[in-house]
Amino acid sequence: MKHRSVRIPSAFCGLYTLRPSYERLPYCNAVNAQEGQESISSVLGPMASSLSAVKRFTKAVIDAKPWKRDPLVVRKPWNAEEYALEDHGHGIGLCFAFMWDNDFVKPHPPLRRAMEILKKALETAGHTGICSSDLNDLVRLTSLQVIIWENHRHLEIYKNVENIFAADNGHDYRTECEKSGEPFIQTMSPTENAHEYALDMPFAKSLIEEPSHLSAYDLWQLHKEKRALRKSHLDHWESTAAKTVMAVVTLRSHEA
């Protein structure tokens, strides 16, 4: 299943999952919406009741040499040393960065509480929390291994992504719905007892000022912007000592 399609249901069902890197697991002939949209690739990943099952599935697929069947899969065999974090002290003394929210939307209280429980567990295991992700601070305070992640250009990244996804102005969705005659859902707002905030005007829609079917040139400019944002985010990551970022799976709890 795709990254959001594995992450959220796995969290709600108490399962383990893996959202692999692009082109790590085969995707050839998979059915999806927006087929041919390669600006932001989706991926496939397993859902399982144990972490060992996730590893077993992933290793089995990679051991089958999927690059011989899918031309986009990276030719990279399973690496036991990398899995054991050999280059990172075998997982001892890792620096965990905590991202509480994205500066725009706050998670539901149960999710915040779960993050606080996780942070406390790491601290109990010998890590100590600080409120900085500055590399110089971490050099001076080498015993501190839990940091608070400083968000970096998240709204710009989100806007870029949404404009890429909407580049065809819904043409793909309408084309697919026309094949079966299924009506194209225009709104999530109820006809009675409507919410004060219209649910058919999500935040993502507000970022796309004038929806239109973009030209190839306009899409290329979004690609150019995406590449610059990726480089900027990489530089931000490398300026910290963080090896992993802990964040909520979704902003809503499954009870909501």
Give 34-46 pLDDT, tens digit per residue: 888 889 988 999 9
Under DSSP, the state recorded for 88 is: G
Tokens found for residue 140: 């001076």
Give SS3 for 99.
strand
Q: What are phi and psi of 95, to 5 degrees?
A: -100, 115
> What's this model's pTM, rounded to 2 decimal places?
0.81
Q: pLDDT confidence of 202, banded at 50, 70, 90?
A: low
148: which strand partners?
98
Distances (CA, A) of 26 to 63, 104, 236: 12, 35, 30
Largest Cα–Cα distance of the chain, in whole Å? 64
> How far is residue 125's CA from residue 96's CA, in Å, rounded to a whole number?
12
Sign of the torsion angle spanned by Cα atoms 248, 254, 255, 256:
positive
Helix axes 154-165, 216-238, angle to 10 degrees: 150
Q: How do the domains of the chain map onto residue ranges?
A: 1-78, 88-255
Q: pLDDT confidence of 189, banded at 50, 70, 90?
A: low
- In this predicted model, what pLDDT tens digit does every residue of 101-111 receive, in sequence order? 988 888 889 88
Find the distance separating the first CA and the last CA of the chain, reported in whole Å.
24
- In this predicted model, what pLDDT tens digit does every residue of 94-139 receive, in sequence order? 888 999 998 888 888 988 999 999 988 888 876 554 444 444 443 3
Contact indicator for 212, 170 with CB cutoff of 8 Å: no
